[in-house]
Chain A
């Protein structure tokens, strides 16, 4: 009887409490909407998340990219005003947190996957373009990995179209399916 009680308590803590406790989360600096930019401004991913001419991926755009349009407030939302005042005017880079930042020891080439592999951004990043709000950035308290690397759900759904995590297994799975090489040195530096 007490045995069961203990077991139940532990199960509860481990399945419900732990998954929350392990992550610490922080909001993104700017209330940014991919949706608005995709629909109203009609931009495509690579317009802002661009490749440099040497093929390397620039990742999150720098303030200058935003300021190209947002020299003055476009629209009247509080978020817009806040963005102009806090960043554009003082010319301060927002400290974005990158959901999909791989660990230091991983070499990932976007252009290889996009240009040679013909992958769509959504296949790995999910439909970010449609998101209206930026999720808070969640990072593992111990390992320091972003939650997106682990996969947002506790268990990976292997269903077609489901957004995979960005763990090594997820990369290797896909490489296996495609019959591509997946040796250590392929991705680790």
Chain B
């Protein structure tokens, strides 16, 4: 029989009907739905044994103790260590995402250490009289810092440079404070060790004198909204009331307010005055209030091996003659305070200086250096963390690696020591041994939360527990000497330009560091408005209008040191005449302490 179109149709119809009576169509529909649960692109978290490992956070000078939850050895989340004498188990947003930094998309992976070494050798040979080889160490006080100092002592005309120490290296004893006056210092927002501050918070009254309502101002016991740039005048008036009238003029407070505040500071002591950038006036006020030995103390040195004593002195960049540095090493492997490139650049010799930056990303000085050598990043790196500003006792803790650093990473201290023709050795352990030899203090181990006198611990056990998460806390009595000279001599502050050229005053809303944060921080500044993204500025709508950028999302920030593109956010909580800026490498390059600026249309 011959087939007709109709037969074929019927056949297909039968097929369809029959198929309905088989599992096939239903199974396919189900599978398709399940496929939508695990279609390509959805990662599967690795499984494995879950363990807790301990280390210390190297992302800021606080160096909080960290408990890492690890799956098959890989940290998947970080938390504080409860009961820790220094950080009290209180983490911060940046620290909580630290374990993701090694996977940052902008991470620096390649470098040319051999070429860099060769170039350095050549330049050092060429280094004439009056020229110098310098190391700029952003986080001074570490064992590697000592290596740099020794290396610079070893080479002819070597110079060791570090950022000016806050409070000249003195320590704050918050536990003693009853009244704290903060002139724009972010006391509750990243100053010192968060856990320590919050623990002491209940015992002192916090008065925040700041033009805009920062996170600290919002939670201070009293907020004095003063005019931008009038902090110094206020401090002065509090020291001698005769200037109160003029201070009232400058700050916009009433004379009575100022005098009452002055009385309070003296009446309900011990008092402490903190300022965003170590105002000389603030230091002087501290001296007048008799803070020294009470809330401001000289911290005993962390012991170092005697062999290290032959070391180059620590100097600030400003103290070096201009165009005198031929070879400059910059170690930013551990985030520290930032020095504007403009300030560094003018110290370099004119004819091709060699600048070698050690960094884990190209965001910092790497943008300006001839050679940028990739380093390990927390939590890969091995480094000790100097005592925090709010720790009156000397401390020693190690940021031990939780993850193995990738191959082809450079160790800055080894590199620099080699360039100086010396051997860095195992500086970290040497210093640990030196501390152990001193026999002072106690060791707090994180895993079991026990404190043990150092006397009862063997050297190797000490070293071992330091690497497994522990901190050594000194018990030596703090010096009660008289007001030290270094606090009276104010460190350099860049000359302020006339306010006419640059009408706006820059205040930093976020921690002032150039180092990258975890991609996950985008939850805070992109998925919400809680924090500002790097290189953005908030300003009053009127200010924006006056600057001719009303309604614009981007603009150009201009200071005496240069200009850079920024994002702008209109915000009525920022007083007119002020810029509330989130630090980013570009912004930091053109902003020093007390910078005046202007914004112009992009």
Contacts and interface: CB of A to CB of B under 8 A. Distances in A.
User: Do chains A and B stick together as partners?
Assistant: yes
Contacts of B30: 143
Contact of B23 (A2, A19, A103, A105): A19
B49 A52 contact: yes
B22 A103 contact: no
A6 B17 CA distance: 8
A14 B50 CA distance: 45
A186 B19 CA distance: 37
Nearest to B45: A104
B27 A2 contact: no
B38 to A, nearest CB: 6
Interface residues of A, number: 30
Interface in A102-150: 103-105, 140, 142-145
Nearest to A4: B14
Interface string A8-21: 11110111001100
B11 to A, nearest CB: 4
A4 B12 CA distance: 10
Contact of A14 (B10, B14, B19, B34): B19
A56 B289 CA distance: 59
Interface string A170-181: 000000000000
A7 B14 contact: yes
Contact of B35 (A14, A18, A52, A144): A144
Contacts of B19: 10-11, 13-14
Contacts of A11: 18-19, 21-22
A18 B25 CA distance: 10
Contacts of B34: 103, 142-145
B50 A22 contact: no
A178 to B, nearest CB: 27
Interface residues of B, number: 31
A22 B27 contact: yes
Interface in A1-56: 1-11, 13-15, 18-19, 22, 52, 54, 56
A1 B19 CA distance: 17
Nearest to A150: B27
Nearest to B38: A144
Given A14-B21, A105-B37, A142-B32, A9 B27 contact: no
B485 interface: no
A3 B11 contact: yes
A154 interface: yes
B270 to A, nearest CB: 48
Contacts of A19: 23
A142 B28 contact: yes
B22 A3 contact: no
B148 to A, nearest CB: 42
B50 A9 contact: no
Contacts of B10: 1-3, 6
Contact of B38 (A1, A6, A54, A103): A103
A175 B192 CA distance: 54
Given A3-B14, A56-B50, A103-B38, A13 B32 contact: no
A13 B34 CA distance: 23
Given A3-B11, A13-B24, A18-B23, A143 B50 contact: no
Interface string B31-42: 110110110001
Interface string B232-259: 0000000000000000000000000000
Contact of B18 (A10, A52, A145): A10
Contact of A2 (B8, B21, B22): B8
A14 B22 contact: yes
From B14, B21, B28, residue with most partner A Cβ within 10 Å: B14
Nearest to A53: B49
Contact of B11 (A2, A13, A22, A154): A2
Contact of A9 (B8, B15, B28, B32): B15
A54 B51 CA distance: 9
B313 interface: no
A97 to B, nearest CB: 14
Contact of A7 (B8, B15, B50): B15
B24 A5 contact: no
B44 interface: yes
Contacts of A1: 10
Nearest to A154: B23
B49 to A, nearest CB: 6
Contacts of A15: 22-23
B53 to A, nearest CB: 14
Contacts of B31: 22, 140, 142-143
B31 to A, nearest CB: 4
B14 A6 contact: yes
Nearest to B6: A2
Given A11-B21, A14-B24, A18-B22, A143 B16 contact: no
B425 interface: no
B247 to A, nearest CB: 60
Contact of A13 (B8, B22, B42): B22
A132 B37 CA distance: 35
B44 A14 contact: no
Contact of B12 (A6, A54, A105, A142): A6
B449 to A, nearest CB: 19
Nearest to B39: A144
B38 A9 contact: no
Given A14-B22, A15-B22, A18-B22, A143 B11 contact: no
Contacts of B27: 18, 22
Contacts of B12: 6
Contacts of A2: 7-8, 10-11, 14
18 contacts: A2-B14, A6-B11, A7-B15, A9-B18, A10-B21, A11-B22, A14-B23, A15-B23, A18-B22, A56-B50, A58-B49, A103-B37, A103-B38, A105-B37, A142-B32, A143-B34, A143-B38, A145-B34
Interface of B: 7-8, 10-19, 21-25, 27-28, 30-32, 34-35, 37-38, 42, 44-45, 49-50
